[in-house]
Amino acid sequence: MKGVILAGGLATRLYPLTYATNKHLLPIFDRPMIFYPINTLVKAGITEVLIVTSGPHAGHFLRVLKNGKELGVTHLEYAYQERANGGIADALKLAEDFADNDPITVILGDNTTDADIKKSVDNFKDGALIFLKKIENKKELSRFGVPEFGEPDKSKVISLEEKPKNPKSKFAVCGLYMYDKHVFDLIRKCTPSARDELEITDVNNLYIKEGKLSWEELKGFWSDTGTFDTLYAANKYWAKKAGI
């Protein structure tokens, strides 16, 4: 299993902070944001990692991460997404050569979690696996992809909707996924959405149509850090966990 961290975009919601550097290099308590998804992968035994970045501050990653050895990464590569707002699937397609037909764990670079996904990584065979987190706040939930569960089997995801106004469940797609080698074939079948992005939700829906998508609830703390509210919440959690 190889790991892909998607750390592109312009992060306009965090202006003026992101005038200075890439969002994923902003501090979360005592370390840069991107250290957290790297640690999630390394704890799971994934030490070959590709970072996909974009925008005017892409070169900043080299000085911060160097070759990744200090973080437990044995092999670190970078890819550049020319369209910073091209979407998650557009960024992920750049990982095809790196994956080299191996399965991949994909995590968004603004995800911070203390969940242990090693068992899931070890047990992954094929298809797609997405991680979900229950969110009670409907407004907050509408920032994410949201699953619809089937009847009467509520354990089965029958569709996913990106940023819905009326979410069909209380679960959010966390931005943490596992895919087999066919994910790149499915990305090629996708067309840009109304937002002019290649949506990872569309890729996941293709896996659902093939009956090859499963899900797990992510245990422990999880937060994206794409807004000032969630950036503050993540800083507060990790500082408290460190005893501050």
And the tokens for 82? 């020319």
Angstrom distance (rounded) from CA 7 to CA 49: 12
pLDDT of residue 112: 96
Q: How many CB atoms lie within 10 A of CB 154?
A: 9
pLDDT single digits (tens) 143-194: 999 999 987 777 899 999 999 999 999 999 999 999 999 999 999 999 988 8
Judge whether residue 198 has pLDDT over 80. yes
Domains in the chain, CATH or no CATH each: 2-130+174-241 (3.90.550.10)
Q: Which residues have a Cβ under 8 Å from the Cβ of 189 and sit 6 or more positions away? A: 206
Angstrom distance (rounded) from CA 120 to CA 46: 12
pLDDT of residue 196: 86
Closest by Cα among 221, 136, 132 to 176: 132
Angstrom distance (rounded) from CA 2 to CA 68: 14
pLDDT of residue 85: 77
pLDDT single digits (tens) 12-46: 999 999 999 999 999 999 999 999 999 999 999 99
